Structure 1
Amino acid sequence: MMIKISLLAMLLVSLGGCKSDLDKVRGEFIDSCMSSGAGKAQCSCTMDKLQEHYGEKGLVAIDERGYPPMGFAEQVQVAAGQCR
């Protein structure tokens, strides 16, 4: 029984590591967006619009750099406006 529990725990931990870089960026963005008072649907829509604009690789690169490119804040506002 203990072996089954250990195997299940290891499986769950390994599955948690299967998220793509974009999934991580998306989750962080939506969490941050929601903490500012927006709803999950609007935050998710905004992220979709940003992905359309920057692409998956672009968003991951922005996250890896640690700071947004010029015009990013304005693009977030445009994207959020399209999601209302």
Structure 2
Amino acid sequence: MVIVVLALSACSSELDKVRGQFIDNCMSSGAPKSNCRCAIDKLQDHYGEQGLVAINRQGYPPSDFAEQLFVAAGQCRNP
């Protein structure tokens, strides 16, 4: 039981790091923080928590990432 809790907390902190890096990079490109948070939420909905962590570990995105990011950004843009 303890191992499962430790494993989940390790994934959570790695996910938090991935999300934080995404938001920082997104904001440095000029997007508002709220849009960046929305976009990473939508990417997380698509790829899942472990998927985002895996993408970060691999160092390169899957072939559909640019498309998913474009869709997410469009959905998160303020009117």
Give the TM-score taking structure 1 as reference length.
Answer: 0.76
Q: Does 1:71 align with 2:67?
A: no
**Could you list the per-position Cα deviations for residues 40-82 of structure 1 after superposition, in whole angstroms to 9, with x for gaps in the alignment?**
0000000000000000000000000000010101100101111
Question: Would you say 1:41 and 2:41 are equivalent positions?
Answer: no
Runs of 4+ in structure 1 deviating by more than 3 angstroms, as ranges, are none
RMSD across aligned C-alpha pairs, in angstroms?
1.4
Q: Of the two, which has the highest radius of gyration?
A: 1
Take 1:32 and 1:47, find their aligned partners in 2: how far apart are those partners?
Answer: 11
TM-score of the superposed pair, with normalisation by structure 2: 0.81
Match of 1:56 among 14, 31, 49: 49
Partner-residue secondary structure (3-state), 1:61: helix
Gaps of 5+ in 1: 1-18
- Paired residues in the alignment total 67
The aligned residue for residue 83 of structure 1 is 76
